[in-house]
């Protein structure tokens, strides 16, 4: 079969039952920059447009049903429209959506986070994970009076200026235009090499080391917990702060995140996604003496020159607080984690069996309740990059499975039947991509 005609036929078949999504995408292109609101939602020949979601499923505007593994970019540990956060938010809606003042729910939210993550003594709320990592870096610089931050190649810490360095290969090119070189020069991106880290810390100008503790791209390129433990030792030795970016791993790898599971105590932790129960929200938390840099003391010299400023219209928003409290209280005993981790392991095994049966040479891997795919046969970011990967993602959508970044997240709403259906869908999708001449 001619490769071009095979791709054309697949696109035509994809579009034939998604005319509503096609129309909305065309409309979006005239109103939304790039036609999307998030880079990861770009999809060829066009993205699906979702009308509703419930449990482990969602439905597009054309009525097509999908087993969903995007799970709100990892935020929905209980699945879509779970009654606990829904009822909590509905109750709060009638009481107010924005007080412009403090409230008890934000205190309960902070107390619940502290109870689950022992390294966190005080917190500040934000609207996103990007804001949280930005604030963590600012706090580290204030506390240490040093400017430089060390991060690791491939690790993602949001989209603020400092976070654009060393994210995608080639690592010497930032992921975004518009970032001053002077800003980029304060960030050093290293391979995961402890000797290199030691060399940089010995220079004495590093405020903090920030790391995705499960590895680059929420574990797409895994690192051992022993590496993170060694980072803890090195940063202590050189009076440098350790920031664990648990935006994805927080409350997912265990009720206390990666750090409780691995027994590591960072100086600062950043979290988002699950922390706000699926609504917008982020957190920086850590040692009290660091977090106290955010306090006003009535001393003009401190308040204008010493403290770290932190406004933010939606910080600790009552709706996010209501959802966050409801979800964190529900998952605190670990029962949800035992359930989703077991399903995650079974899903990885089933999908690997499908690939092996077709002799594709692909790899399915991950930890706890998340998983990644790599058509290269080795752990790598962008494991579904290239024509075959693009075709496989399109074929999976056609078969009723929606993934994110070449992988996905299992929620408490997923069932054994969902796993079976997903494995069957993968089997059909691989056959379809092979028929296009894109797999060996």
Res 43: pLDDT: 87
The residue written with tokens 């990861």 in the block is: 40
Q: Do domains 3-80+335-435 and 83-331 have the same CATH topology?
A: no
User: Using CA atoms, how far apart are residues 233 and 116, in angstroms rounded to an integer?
Assistant: 23
Res 44: pLDDT: 84
How distant, in Å, are the alpha carbons of 81, 236, 397 from that of 89? 11, 42, 31
Give the chain's residues under pLDDT 50: 1-5
Res 68: pLDDT: 98
How distant, in Å, are the alpha carbons of 141, 164, 306 from that of 172? 23, 10, 34
User: Using CA atoms, how far apart are residues 357 and 9, in angstroms rounded to an integer?
Assistant: 26
User: Using CA atoms, how far apart are residues 73 and 75, in angstroms rounded to an integer?
Assistant: 6
Fold of domain 3-80+335-435: 3.90.1150
> Which DSSP state fits 383?
T
Res 5: pLDDT: 44
Do the bridges between strand 282-286 and strand 241-245 make them parallel or antiparallel, or are there none, so unpaired?
unpaired
Res 111: pLDDT: 98
End-to-end CA, the chain: 14
Q: What is the pLDDT of residues 75-98, one digit of tens each?
A: 999 999 999 999 999 999 999 999
Res 1: pLDDT: 26
Query: Taking a C-beta distance cutoff of 8 angstroms, is the pair 18, 382 a contact?
Result: no
User: Using CA atoms, how far apart are residues 30 and 104, in angstroms rounded to an integer?
Assistant: 43
Do the bridges between strand 241-245 and strand 221-222 make them parallel or antiparallel, or are there none, so unpaired?
unpaired
| Residues 83-331, CATH architecture | 3-Layer(aba) Sandwich (3.40)
Res 8: pLDDT: 79
DSSP of 164-217, one letter per residue?
Answer: GTTSSSSTTS-SSSS--HHHHTTEEEE-S-HHHHHHHHTTS-EEEEEE-TTEHH
Query: Can you give the pTM of this predicted structure?
Result: 0.96
The neighbouring-strand residues paired with 268 are 243, 286
Domain residue extents for the chain: 3-80+335-435, 83-331
């Amino acid at each position: 079969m001619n490769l071009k005609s095979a791709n054309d036929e697949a696109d035509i078949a994809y579009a034939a039952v998604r005319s509503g999504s096609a129309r909305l995408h065309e409309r979006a292109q005239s109103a939304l920059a790039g036609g999307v609101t998030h880079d990861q939602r770009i999809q060829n020949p066009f993205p699906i447009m979702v009308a509703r979601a419930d449990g482990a499923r969602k439905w597009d505007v054309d009525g097509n049903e999908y087993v969903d593994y995007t799970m709100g970019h990892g935020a929905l540990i209980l699945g879509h429209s779970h009654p606990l956060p829904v009822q909590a938010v509905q109750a709060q809606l009638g009481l107010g959506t924005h007080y412009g003042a403090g409230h008890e729910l934000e205190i309960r939210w902070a107390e619940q986070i502290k109870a689950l993550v022992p390294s966190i003594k005080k917190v500040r709320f934000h609207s996103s994970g990007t804001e949280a990592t930005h604030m963590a870096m600012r706090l580290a610089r204030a506390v240490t009076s040093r400017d430089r931050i060390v991060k690791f190649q491939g690790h993602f810490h949001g989209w603020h200026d400092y976070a654009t360095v060393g994210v995608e290969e080639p690592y010497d090119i930032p992921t975004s235009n518009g970032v001053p070189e002077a800003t980029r020069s304060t960030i050093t991106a290293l391979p995961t090499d402890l000797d290199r880290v030691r060399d940089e810390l010995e220079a004495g100008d590093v405020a903090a080391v920030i790391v995705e503790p499960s590895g680059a791209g929420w574990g797409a390129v895994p690192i051992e917990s022993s590496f993170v433990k060694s980072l803890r030792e090195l940063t202590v030795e050189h009076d440098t702060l350790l920031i664990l970016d648990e935006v994805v791993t927080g409350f997912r790898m265990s009720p206390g995140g990666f750090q409780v599971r691995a027994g590591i105590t960072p100086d600062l932790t950043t979290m988002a996604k699950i922390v706000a129960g699926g609504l917008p929200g982020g957190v920086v938390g850590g040692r009290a003496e660091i977090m106290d840099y955010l306090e006003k003391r009535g001393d003009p010299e401190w308040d204008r020159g010493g403290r770290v400023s932190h406004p933010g219209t939606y910080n600790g928003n009552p709706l996010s607080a209501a959802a966050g409290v409801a979800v964190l209280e529900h998952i605190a005993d670990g029962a949800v984690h035992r359930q989703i981790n077991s399903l995650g392991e079974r899903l990885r095994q089933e999908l690997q069996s499908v690939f092996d049966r077709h002799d594709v040479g692909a790899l399915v891997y991950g930890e706890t309740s998340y998983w990644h795919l790599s058509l290269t046969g080795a752990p790598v970011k962008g494991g579904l990059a290239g024509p075959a990967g693009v075709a496989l993602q399109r074929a999976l959508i056609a078969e009723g499975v929606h993934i994110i970044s070449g992988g996905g997240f299992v929620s408490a709403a997923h069932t054994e039947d969902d796993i079976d259906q997903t494995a069957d869908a993968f089997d059909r999708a691989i056959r379809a991509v092979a028929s296009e001449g894109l797999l060996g």
